[in-house]
Amino acid sequence: MLAPPSFDAPVEAWSWCSCDRIKRTAKGRSGVLQLIEAHNHHRTVCPLLNDAQEGRKAA
Ligand SMILES: [Zn+2]
C-alpha cells in the first residue's frame, strides 16, 4: 500500500498484495480512502497473509 504523504489534489494510489489477487489504482481523495479501506479488508482475508501468520515469515 502506497499513498501520497498529503491529500493535495490530484492524488493517486496503488494497492497490491503479495498474493497477486488485488491490484487496484485509485484517484482522488475519496477514491484513495476507499482503496485503503479495501486493502485493509483484504489483509484480513488474504490467504497468503493469513498463511504467513501461522508461524512462517515471508522473506
Ligand atoms: Zn493478498
Task: List the chain domain ranges.
Answer: 1-59
pTM value surpassing 0.75: no
**11 — alpha (psi -120 to 50), left (phi > 0) or beta?**
beta
CA of 43 to the centre of ligand 1 (A): 6
Who has greater pLDDT, 52 or 20? Answer: 20
Who has greater pLDDT, 28 or 54? Answer: 28
Q: Which residues surround ligand 1, an ion (CB under 5 A)?
A: 17, 19, 46
Q: Which grid cell sits at 43?
A: 489483509
pLDDT band at 16 (very low <50, low <70, confident <90, very high): confident
CA of 44 to the centre of ligand 1 (A): 9
CA of 22 to the centre of ligand 1 (A): 6
CA of 20 to the centre of ligand 1 (A): 6
**Under a CB-based contact definition with an 8 Å cutoff, are residues 15 and 26 in contact?**
yes
